[in-house]
Structure 1
Amino acid sequence: MSTTAPVAGTSPRVSVVMTCYNEGPFIGAAVRSVTDQTRADLVDKIVIADDGSAPETIAVLRELEAADRRVEVLYGTGGNGISRQRNLAIARTSTPFVAILDGDDLWTPDKIETELPLIEADPQVGLVYSDFYLFADGDLSSAHLAKALDITGAADLAKAYFQVDPPIVPSTTILRRAVLDEVGGFDPSVKVFEDTDLFNRLARVCRFAFTPKPLLYKRVRRSSITGSNRDLMAQHAFVAFRAAAADPRLMPLVPARLAERASKLANSRFLTGDYEEAVALARLALRLDPLSLRSWLSRVATAPVMRPIVGRMASVAGRRKALGVQDPAGGGSGR
């Protein structure tokens, strides 16, 4: 593991916050993707908030602490959830910028070198994000590009993010501490899509920056798909109505936003063979937004006549890649 010394004339300006729950097989590589950065000298601390992992993962975390003085592990007893854990980790840092990295994701070596200048250059920018790669768990060679939409030029960023949700993957972001403090950090009352909730709030108080360069390898694990379809739609609705309650201009946009989420979930469930739920979700999308082309395409794509066609594709992973399904949870971190 690299212990890169600071370059003359520079000082650490970014801290990395990570969460962990039984991610022992992955978190070592995640930390190394930070310490091996081309500008690792700009990293002050790597704070890992553990939420009551099993002994095997705890042993890995202790090894990481011993290997690099910048690594600090907060050993929790469990049950906090990702929002509280991220807030605890952020509270242990003092740099003007904070980067998020999930314990099973990997940064490209130039992540900090590419993004930090973008957020430092403009005091109105509170968040920078990027494109990313998706790869099947255990097979980095399967990585394929997942493009995010650039909404940074929108005149009304809060409305643009609510409507489009690029997606912004937390592990691609660097955040300005001042605006993170201004909006109160992650909200522990949001159990799923806590990142979407945060970004909705940030979009009301700052600008975003974007680089089309993919700076993250995001691991796709079945265990990272949270809850049932109905649970996920309920969580999507919870986050959407929270945003609209804070900004009433968004209320008329809620049905279209939820229809888009239902369509994504329908397509994902169809590709993994859950046909009954796929059809139900596609129908829900049409009820929410009957004028949406996406909703109609989802309804057609999940029709029974399409099952033999999808069945002839080589594998679930191949189907997902071929049809561009990025996140089974339909947005956000999917954790």
Structure 2
Amino acid sequence: MKWLRFIRKLKPYNIQKGLRYLKHYGPKEFLIRLSERMEPEEVPYGPWREQYCAKEEDLARQKNHKFSYCPKISVVVPAYRTPEIFLRQMIESLEKQSYENWELVIGNASPEDETMARILKEYTGKDPRVKNVPIPENIGIAENTNAALAAAAGNFVGFMDHDDLLAPDALFEIAIRLEKDPSIDAFYTDEDKVRTDLSE
């Protein structure tokens, strides 16, 4: 049963990610991570997620919340040859935020990618909170991030990969805590995994 669960997870993306992990961390750490992935869930994930995710009524209430302190949150994303579906989903996960004082700053290091250029023009044209920072060439994830960061104008900055998504209440949860304690300097937010099967 354990192996059957493991085989179901063998998608091309996960195999590539596993090989990168093996190359970077070595066989010992790779085997530890692999064994962790094969452990059965102590709590079934589906019901747990359903219980804790913000519902539509929660998001509506959050959108109507009047903040006494409303900092702008810049979300900085280095992007390089991002597949269209990932790029659109990432941008739209910002547009669905229940907290509205944000900006998305995308450092586009793929000047030759016409599809990316078209998509970024589409989103920046309809939402001024989405910013495209053209980078003449791919100078690596750190420098691409720094190029985008230089264009950020927010009071706080968060970082995402070009294939990440934000839960619709993610920025609200940060803002509501800042409203209670504006002296907070930094937040740690955990991550979750989503399916990578593009056919679904």
TM-score range, shorter chain: 0.5 to 0.7
1:48 maps to amino acid = I
* Equivalent in 54, 59, 68 of residue 127 of structure 2: 68
Paired with 1:50 and 1:5, the residues of 2 have a C-alpha distance of: 34
1:130 and 2:130 matched: no
When structure 1 is superposed on structure 2, of 6-15 and 113-122 the one drifting more is 6-15
- Per the alignment, do residues 133 and 67 of structure 1 end up closer, same or farther by CA in structure 2, a change over 3 Å counting? same
Secondary structure at 2:139 match in 1: coil
Q: Once the two structures are superposed, what CA deviation does each residue of 1:299-328 show, in whole Å capped at 9, x if it has no partner? A: xxxxxxxxxxxxxxxxxxxxxxxxxxxxxx
Paired with 1:18 and 1:7, the residues of 2 have a C-alpha distance of: 28
1:50 and 2:104 matched: no
Match of residue 87 from structure 2: 27
CA displacement at 1:78 relative to structure 2: 1.4
Paired with 1:8 and 1:97, the residues of 2 have a C-alpha distance of: 16
CA-atom RMSD, angstroms?
A: 2.9
Determine which structure has more spread, i.e. the larger CA radius of gyration. 1
Match of residue 152 from structure 2: 93
Secondary structure at 2:107 match in 1: strand
- Per the alignment, do residues 77 and 68 of structure 1 end up closer, same or farther by CA in structure 2, a change over 3 Å counting? same
- Per the alignment, do residues 57 and 31 of structure 1 end up closer, same or farther by CA in structure 2, a change over 3 Å counting? same
Q: Once the two structures are superposed, what CA deviation does each residue of 1:199-255 show, in whole Å capped at 9, x if it has no partner? A: xxxxxxxxxxxxxxxxxxxxxxxxxxxxxxxxxxxxxxxxxxxxxxxxxxxxxxxxx
CA displacement at 1:50 relative to structure 2: 0.6
* Equivalent in 90, 93, 109 of residue 168 of structure 2: 109
2:107 maps to amino acid = A
Secondary structure at 1:72 match in 2: strand
The question of whether the paired residues in 2 share the 8 Å contact of 1:38 and 1:113 is answered with: yes
2:99 maps to amino acid = R
Higher relative contact order (CA 8 A, sep 6+): 2
1:29 maps to amino acid = Q
Q: Once the two structures are superposed, what CA deviation does each residue of 1:273-298 show, in whole Å capped at 9, x if it has no partner? A: xxxxxxxxxxxxxxxxxxxxxxxxxx
Match of residue 77 from structure 1: 136
1:62 maps to amino acid = K
2:91 maps to amino acid = V
- TM-score, scaled relative to structure 1: 0.36
CA displacement at 1:117 relative to structure 2: 3.7
Match of residue 147 from structure 1: none
CA displacement at 1:112 relative to structure 2: 0.7
CA displacement at 1:38 relative to structure 2: 0.9
CA displacement at 1:108 relative to structure 2: 0.5
* Equivalent in 74, 78, 86 of residue 15 of structure 1: 74
Match of residue 22 from structure 2: none
1:36 maps to amino acid = K
CA displacement at 1:130 relative to structure 2: 2.4
4+ residue runs of structure 1 moved beyond 4 angstroms? 4-12
Paired with 1:7 and 1:23, the residues of 2 have a C-alpha distance of: 36
Paired with 2:172 and 2:127, the residues of 1 have a C-alpha distance of: 20
CA displacement at 1:135 relative to structure 2: 2.4
CA displacement at 1:52 relative to structure 2: 2.0
Report % sequence identity: 23
Paired with 1:8 and 1:117, the residues of 2 have a C-alpha distance of: 8
- TM-score, scaled relative to structure 2: 0.58
CA displacement at 1:22 relative to structure 2: 1.1
In the TM superposition, 1:321-332 aligns within 5 A as none
The question of whether the paired residues in 2 share the 8 Å contact of 1:119 and 1:128 is answered with: no
1:71 maps to amino acid = V
CA displacement at 1:127 relative to structure 2: 2.5
